[in-house]
Chains A and B, each alone.
Chain A
Amino acid sequence: MTDNEHEIEQPDERVPKRVIGTPPPGTPMLGEAEARDAGDAGGETPGITLQDEKRASGAEKLVALCFLLAFLGGVAFLVSYVVFQVGSPEATGVSNLALGSSLTVAVLGLAVGIVVWVRQIMPKYALVQERHLMVSGEDDREVVADTFVEGANESGFVKRKMMRRTLLLAAAPLGLIPLILLRDLDNTKMKATSFNKLLRHTVWGEKTVEGQPRRLIVEGTGQPIRAADFNSPGGILSIVPEGYEHDLNVLAKATLILIKFRPEELKSGVNKNWTHDGIVAYSKICTHVGCPAALYEQTTHHILCPCHQSTFDAADGAKVIFGPAARPLPQLPITVDNEGFLVAAGDFPVPVGPSYWERGDAEAEARAKGGQA
């Protein structure tokens, strides 16, 4: 009983004084050194608490160990550089592992060593420095103001209006020069107002050099395709234009996806005159920001753009059924040439790819001209 009471009356010894979530007392943040108070540590500078010498010399061994490790890491890096060659993915992997891990050890050893040095060998600091308002003294400000006025008057900038105004006049065109110099950033040698006209056409609207309609080339194989060979419903192909298989500027506008349907699957959104035997060609370039809409789900006929998930119904004129794209993927009129190869029957009725200011309601425009957008 007596023992119990004794314990309860001196809770200071055994109970925490802190709240959960606050730092433990005596962390540097709260100035342990201060709490110990430098004043009573006889002979020390206030705010500097020297480490216990025994502890410090223990720490020195630890620091030295870390530095030794760092040394070994550094040497290992140099050796690895010479020993491990690169070339194949496997060899590069080994070299990367050896160089990277030895560099990590070298640097980490140094880092840990220095931290132990600072924390266990250098004194604990709680130095105090005065802080002063940022603002300058009133006298200084007045002197500066006077000097400014004096200098301005001496220069004659205020008094001599003609000089001042012509100076400002001279500066104005100089400011424009850097902007003007950027005008030739485009290499088209066109009027800037006609840039947008380039966006209205693709190479599908042009005949080949032989004067033939342009064939649809299967991307990757580089071969044209016969309608008869593309005969499994649900199939999809990525198509590039004949003669421009590797021209990136052309591909950015003219790449197609070609899908084979059963005739009964096609809905009213598809212009059936522009299909051939259930084969429909759509622009692959998403009408949102231009990523290739490359994913196709056979069962639902959905074309999905992997960038922002605009989803188009391929069986219904590629109209948008989900996502941020505002317009259907334009349909390309296709037919077959006399050898049975699929060819373009004309250009897209509307500009492909992302919308831009000068595009206007191209779909309505195409409809008004009698076509179907």
Chain B
Amino acid sequence: MSELTTVPKAVGGPSNWLDERLGGANFLKRNLRKVFPDHWSFLLGEIALYSFIILLLTGTFLTFWFKPSMEHVLYDGSYAPLQGVGMSAAYASSLEISFDVRGGLLMRQMHHWAALLFIAGMMVHMLRVFFTGAYRKPREINWIIGILLLTLALAEGLTGYSLPDDLLSGAGARITQGVAISLPLVGTYVSFFLFGGEYPGTDLISRFYALHILLIPGILLALISAHLVLMWVQKHTQMPGKGRANTNVVGAPFYPAFMAKAGAYFLFTLAVVAGLSTFAQINPIWIYGPYTPADISAGSQPDWYMGFLEGSLRIMPAWEINMFGTAHAGTLPLSVIIPALLPLGLVMTGLALYPFLERWITGDHREHHMAERPRNNPHRTSIGMAGISFYGVLWLLGANDEISAFFHINLNWTTYAGRVLVFAAPVLAYIITYRICLGLQRSDAEVVSHGVESGVIKRLPHGEFIEIHTPPAEDIEAHVRGKEPVAMLPMAEDPSGIPHKGMRGPIGKLRARMSKAYGGEKIPLVDGHGHEEEERAAVGPGEEDHTLTR
């Protein structure tokens, strides 16, 4: 076993060559040992990143054979059931990739699975950032970039879904057109420009292809790079814990540990995608047949990330307004416009504005580098859960035909239930989450002040049974004590009773009220007998201090 004492020539030579031209040592000196904090939830975004890399690689492979053309051809490939059938060149080449190119089917399936994982990774990563408040100053720019990435990824998914031009993907294009043409004033223009004339035309696939393999991925690549550079410059947030503060980062160095871990994580993602593509079939386009606007198969389902739009289209009541009667203008197909634009707009706009609204309400202009535990900002967590329920109900309803068939429920009742749930579920989720957060805070306070139940029951001389409590482990206590009260606007009026500037007038008063509800410490961590051993009655009334609850 020998260890290095100097840089080996094979590394030193090229490094020297590069340094003499770029001066990279200065950068590397500062960054090779850059510290990355460790927490399982910090890996979620990496799933999305690595899926994107897999998408670029498998996608490039697919372009070598795919023909983005709607030209009519007779299929003469090796899939017997479709031989002699008229279809678009796009569909025929997708079949060629599947059946006549070795590894083609694997790459096609990997591309599809990675796409699903890409968006899933982005979403859970976004939820992690939201629930831990990691979007707060100074990371608002990266948050906005993230929202843009998610929106673009949805568009990327939609355009890619339409390319194979099978019956199922055509149904997606048909719905896209139905939505586009419903837009007030510009609907027919948008539809005719997009499809090159009447639906379906012969241009859609080559246009979507250009968007799907060049424009959108180009923007995605640029934004992802910016996302990573900002993360690098601003350094990662960290969970509260022993030795950690807003002014430091504790963790493993980039070289060698983080680098190796990131590489392994990429390989894990690749292995999962490859494994899924081997053992779990996805999008068997040869079964669906070529697209024709005259046919559809029952149980047509979009990819999962479009499910919430599908669901909102499904539960919408049949509203349509003709503003000017029989005149050839003024038709508003609300049963399409509202579900297609409102939920998506609401969710995306809400997410994009959240950091700024929260800052306005809390008046918190400090930099935050510590991730907040979700329970410690109960209103944010509840709002997030309400959003998830809203999205979740729509998403489930996107598959209400499957739900109805599987559970033997009347299809129409699933829709009626959805119409109620889409409003009721977020309210319920809000209330329940809020109570859970306070409950968890209370149990944190309990741990800090009274210690942890030891499971050891002791009988006192007079016969009473008590359970012995022990102080929590140091690191856990530090984690719990990392809690900070949510910031609040200065509430105290000055002696003459005049409210602070910015809290006058109706909007100011609303702001003050919201700040009071949103901010502040709901359940303080009372310092009890922290580190001494503590004995408490195992059975008996809890010390519910009702002044602590709101």
Chain B min CB distance to A242 (Å): 14
> A359 at the A/B interface (Cβ < 8 Å)?
yes
Tell me whether A134 and B298 are in contact in the complex, defined as CB-CB below 8 angstroms, given that A87-B100, A252-B199 are known contacts: no
Within 8 A of B (CB), among A59-106: 81, 84-89, 92, 95-97, 99-101, 103-104
Chain B min CB distance to A257 (Å): 10
> B251 at the A/B interface (Cβ < 8 Å)?
yes
Tell me whether A292 and B455 are in contact in the complex, defined as CB-CB below 8 angstroms, given that A100-B106, A308-B313 are known contacts: no
- Contact of B182 (CB < 8 Å), options: A19, A112, A188, A355: A355
CA distance A47 to B38 in the complex (A): 14
With a cutoff of 8 Å between Cβ atoms, the chain A residues found around residue B458 in the complex are 8
- Contact of A306 (CB < 8 Å), options: B195, B277, B298, B335: B298
Chain A min CB distance to B363 (Å): 18
- Contact of B314 (CB < 8 Å), options: A15, A187, A309: A309
B200 touches A252 (CB 8 A): yes
With a cutoff of 8 Å between Cβ atoms, the chain B residues found around residue A84 in the complex are 102
With a cutoff of 8 Å between Cβ atoms, the chain A residues found around residue B275 in the complex are 100-101, 104, 108
> B532 at the A/B interface (Cβ < 8 Å)?
no
CA distance A31 to B474 in the complex (A): 11
B475 touches A249 (CB 8 A): no
CA distance A310 to B322 in the complex (A): 20
CA distance A310 to B109 in the complex (A): 32
A100 touches B279 (CB 8 A): yes
Tell me whether A246 and B188 are in contact in the complex, defined as CB-CB below 8 angstroms, given that A30-B476, A128-B248, A324-B318 are known contacts: no
Given contacts A34-B475, A89-B286, 10 further A-B contacts (CB under 8 A): A15-B456, A17-B472, A111-B268, A115-B261, A131-B246, A252-B294, A253-B198, A306-B296, A323-B318, A323-B415
The segment from B78-86, B385-393, B522-530 that touches chain A is B78-86
With a cutoff of 8 Å between Cβ atoms, the chain B residues found around residue A359 in the complex are 322, 328, 331
CB-based nearest B residue for A367: B326
CB-based nearest B residue for A293: B296
A115 touches B264 (CB 8 A): yes
A182 touches B327 (CB 8 A): no
> B60 at the A/B interface (Cβ < 8 Å)?
no
Within 8 A of B (CB), among A8-23: 8, 11-12, 14-19, 22-23
- Contact of B260 (CB < 8 Å), options: A87, A108, A114: A114
Tell me whether A289 and B293 are in contact in the complex, defined as CB-CB below 8 angstroms, given that A35-B474, A125-B252, A357-B184 are known contacts: no
CA distance A85 to B295 in the complex (A): 34
> A354 at the A/B interface (Cβ < 8 Å)?
yes
Chain B min CB distance to A284 (Å): 7
Within 8 A of B (CB), among A241-272: 246, 248-249, 251-253, 255
With a cutoff of 8 Å between Cβ atoms, the chain A residues found around residue B513 in the complex are none
A127 touches B35 (CB 8 A): yes
With a cutoff of 8 Å between Cβ atoms, the chain B residues found around residue A182 in the complex are 193
> B437 at the A/B interface (Cβ < 8 Å)?
no
CB-based nearest A residue for B302: A307
With a cutoff of 8 Å between Cβ atoms, the chain B residues found around residue A195 in the complex are 188-189, 191-192
Tell me whether A104 and B369 are in contact in the complex, defined as CB-CB below 8 angstroms, given that A354-B181, A360-B324, A360-B327 are known contacts: no
Number of A-B contacts (CB under 8 A): 380
B367 touches A186 (CB 8 A): no
Tell me whether A31 and B473 are in contact in the complex, defined as CB-CB below 8 angstroms, given that A92-B98, A111-B264, A129-B249 are known contacts: no
With a cutoff of 8 Å between Cβ atoms, the chain B residues found around residue A324 in the complex are 313-318, 335-336, 339
> A215 at the A/B interface (Cβ < 8 Å)?
no
With a cutoff of 8 Å between Cβ atoms, the chain B residues found around residue A251 in the complex are 292-294
- Contact of B473 (CB < 8 Å), options: A25, A127, A309, A310: A25
CB-based nearest B residue for A123: B257
With a cutoff of 8 Å between Cβ atoms, the chain B residues found around residue A238 in the complex are 294-295
A354 touches B455 (CB 8 A): no
Tell me whether A358 and B181 are in contact in the complex, defined as CB-CB below 8 angstroms, given that A31-B250, A290-B174 are known contacts: no
- B170-208 vs A, CB cutoff 8 Å, 1 = contact: the mask equals 010011011101111111110111111111110100000
> B101 at the A/B interface (Cβ < 8 Å)?
yes
> A174 at the A/B interface (Cβ < 8 Å)?
no
> B374 at the A/B interface (Cβ < 8 Å)?
no
Within 8 A of B (CB), among A298-331: 306-310, 320, 322-327
B313 touches A285 (CB 8 A): no
Tell me whether A127 and B253 are in contact in the complex, defined as CB-CB below 8 angstroms, given that A34-B242, A88-B80, A289-B174 are known contacts: yes
With a cutoff of 8 Å between Cβ atoms, the chain A residues found around residue B310 in the complex are 308
The segment from B21-29, B233-241, B494-502 that touches chain A is B233-241
Most chain B beta-carbon neighbours within 10 Å: one of A182, A199, A307 = A307
CA distance A219 to B331 in the complex (A): 33
Chain A min CB distance to B92 (Å): 15
Most chain B beta-carbon neighbours within 10 Å: one of A248, A322, A361 = A248
- Contact of A291 (CB < 8 Å), options: B175, B186, B243, B246: B175
With a cutoff of 8 Å between Cβ atoms, the chain A residues found around residue B454 in the complex are 11, 15-16
B189 touches A96 (CB 8 A): no
Chain B min CB distance to A209 (Å): 21
B468 touches A125 (CB 8 A): no
Chain B min CB distance to A369 (Å): 10
CA distance A344 to B501 in the complex (A): 74
- A136-147 vs B, CB cutoff 8 Å, 1 = contact: the mask equals 000000000000
> A149 at the A/B interface (Cβ < 8 Å)?
no
Within 8 A of B (CB), among A325-343: 325-327
> A185 at the A/B interface (Cβ < 8 Å)?
yes
- Contact of B78 (CB < 8 Å), options: A87, A96, A129, A322: A87
B331 touches A104 (CB 8 A): no
> B401 at the A/B interface (Cβ < 8 Å)?
yes
